[in-house]
Structures are given as C-alpha cells and as structure tokens.
Amino acid sequence: MSKKTGIVKDTRYLQHSAGFAHPESPERLAAIYEMLDNPLMHWKFTHLEPREATHKEIETIHSHSYIEFIASTAGQSCVYLDPDTATSPETYEIAKLAVGGVCNAIDSVIEGKVDNAFAFVRPPGHHAEKDTAKGFCVFNNIAIGAMHAILKHGLKRILIVDWDLHHGNGTQHSFYNDPRVLYFSTHQYPYYPGTGSLQEIGRGPGEGYTINVPLREGAGDASFVTIFHKILEPVALEYQPELILLSAGFDTYFQDPLGGMRVTPEGFAAMMRILLNIADACCQGRLVAVLEGGYHVAGLTRSVKAVLEEMLDETHVSEKRLSLLEKEVDEETSHLINKVISGIRPYWKVF
C-alpha cells in the first residue's frame, strides 16, 4: 500500500548564500526542486508549508547570545561564522525557516497528516553547536526538531540516525547526556569535524545512547546496509523509538567531491528501507528526513529520488536484496561491526 509522504520545499531556501563557488550552494536544492516539480513526480507528495521558528524553539538547543549574534547578521552582506560558514543578508531568516520547516514536518507526521516526510531545507544543521556555527551549518535543525517533538508532543524516545559523510558533532553534543534521544551515526573517519570515535558513547544518563560507526574511506552499499542491519536495527527494536529522525546527507555518494565513500542511489534506498521497517515496527511508520550534505548535484538528486520512492513505497527493497548486499561486505567492515557491538554490549540486552 502506498504511503503518504510530505515534503517541505520553499524557494526562499535558495536565498541563503554561503559565498561564491561554495559547495553548499543554492543549486543543490534547485536541482532537487526541479526533480520534484516534474509532472511525473509533483502529484505524489503532500506539500508541507514551512514557517519561521521562534527564538524560544531555537533556544532549546542554542544559547540566547548565539541566536542574537546570528540575528545581528541580518541585512549584512557577508559575515564569516567560521572558516567554512558565512552568511548572506537573508541567512538569519532562512535559517529560522529551515528549523520551522523541520518542526512542521514533525508535527504533520506525529499528527498523522502524512505517514513520513522529507524536509528539503538549507542551511544544513548537524554541525551547529550550542553557541557556534560550524561546517556550513547555522542552527541545528534536527536537534531543535527533536526537542520540539519532546516538548510539544511529549515524546520520550527519539532515534536520530545520521548517515551524512561527516559526523554530526552538534547533534551528538546536544543529547550526549540525554537518554530521550538515541543518536546513531555512520561517517568517514578520521575526517572533518574530528569527532565520532568508537569511544564516544554518551555520558551520565545518556551513556550507551550515542553509537558511532567510524568508517574508513571507500565504504559502499554493502558496508552501510550491513551496519544498519546488524547494529542499528537490533538496538532500535530494543529502544522502541516513538519517532525516527534522519540527518540525510548524500555526500557518501560515490562521486561526491568532498568525500571518499562509494554509496549508490540504490544503497541510499536500501538504508531507507531498513529505517522504514524499524519505523513500521516501532512507531506507526513515523519518520522525518532532513537534508544535510551532498555536493555532487546530479548524484544528490538521483539519490534523493531513490529515497523518496522508497518512502512512498513505490519501490520496496526486498529482504532478499538486502541480504545479497550483506553477503558482499568486506572483512574490515565486519571487524568494525564487532568492535562497535563490543563497546555498546553493556548497554543493550540484544547483544
């Protein structure tokens, strides 16, 4: 049975510019929007309007002084927030719109208006820390979205999966002590931003609720699918999340200029299938994806399309196909999986 998939898209997101020839360019979204506007595609989705998030919502993750600082950049031609991250005159408003778009997508899924949703927003978010911008990110869209689900809807268990090439340091730090959010990340390591080692597993009441899978360059579809199946799936089924949020970075695509991974559009669809299966088993299919990285524009668009077709249940990667991919997994990934499991075994009965 086909699923009802909501999408957040708004041409205002194209107004944010991080500077000339910057990899996080408006054309990334423009290409996705063009694919979504195609007569064969556009009727398939429920359009979800974004809104600007309030300071109070953003303050659930960021400091008051940091938000005021970003607000002070409004109307200025270019302010460098860090060596990789700059604002344009519209950035403050568009960054609030990105957060609000994610919150509206979460509301629509929790209230049952759609089965799942994908927020095509920018600037991205998962590197943004409490009081600093970082790695093209201004406000941490997905972390604020998780707090929105906790505070507005009373959720007690949220799973955030981050398959971006780069580790989501900001998201991890936001919930490092907090068992209400289980953070799971696959990422190229050692690489920017330098966080996300095997030893980083959470602290205090959040110990065991951060799971990092640091991969060497060259990992492809088989590695990611096997990691999702052998580590993420059993932990998630034990945790029983009430909502799944995905930091969907597509810079692990095999031709991405910023990365060294080997994931294909089929690989992204297979990972999404595992997440959808978990969502169906735990939380009535409630899943919200949020765009993060992905800098090969044609590859980004193809991969997003493959993921959306899986979310709609137009395609449905079979168990047989998933197990065939797992048979191709290399020894290095198998060894890494065993290391991750031995590190988190004290916290999860399933192992």
State the virtual CA torsion across 52, 53, 54, 56 in degrees, nearest 10.
-170
Instruction: Give residues with Cβ within 8 angstroms of 275, minimum separation 6.
Output: 161, 228, 244, 246, 287
Question: What distance in Å separates the CA atoms of residue 4 and residue 112, rounded to the nearest whole number?
Answer: 10
Question: What distance in Å separates the CA atoms of residue 231 and residue 336, rounded to the nearest whole number?
Answer: 11
Phi-psi sector, 350: left (phi>0), alpha (psi -120 to 50), beta: alpha
Query: What is the end-to-end Cα distance of the chain in Å, rounded?
Result: 33
Question: What distance in Å separates the CA atoms of residue 89 and residue 255, rounded to the nearest whole number?
Answer: 32
Q: Is 64 helix (H, G, I), strand (E, B) or coil?
A: helix
Q: Output DSSP code: residue 37.
A: H
Could you tell me the strand order of the sheet in which 158-162 lies?
46-47, 5-8, 116-119, 287-291, 243-248, 158-162, 181-188, 210-215
Q: Output DSSP code: residue 139.
A: S
Q: Is 329 helix (H, G, I), strand (E, B) or coil?
A: coil
Nearest residue to 270 (alpha-carbon basis) of 323, 202, 347: 323
Q: Please report, for residues 120, 186, 256, 304, 341, the alpha-carbon distance to residue 235 in angstroms, rounded to integers and kept in the order given.
A: 28, 15, 30, 26, 10
Q: Is 296 a catalytic residue?
A: no
- Tell me the helix, strand and coil percentages in the chain, rounded to 5: 45, 15, 40
Out of 16, 62, 126, 127, which one is annotated catalytic? 127
Q: Which residues are catalytic?
A: 127
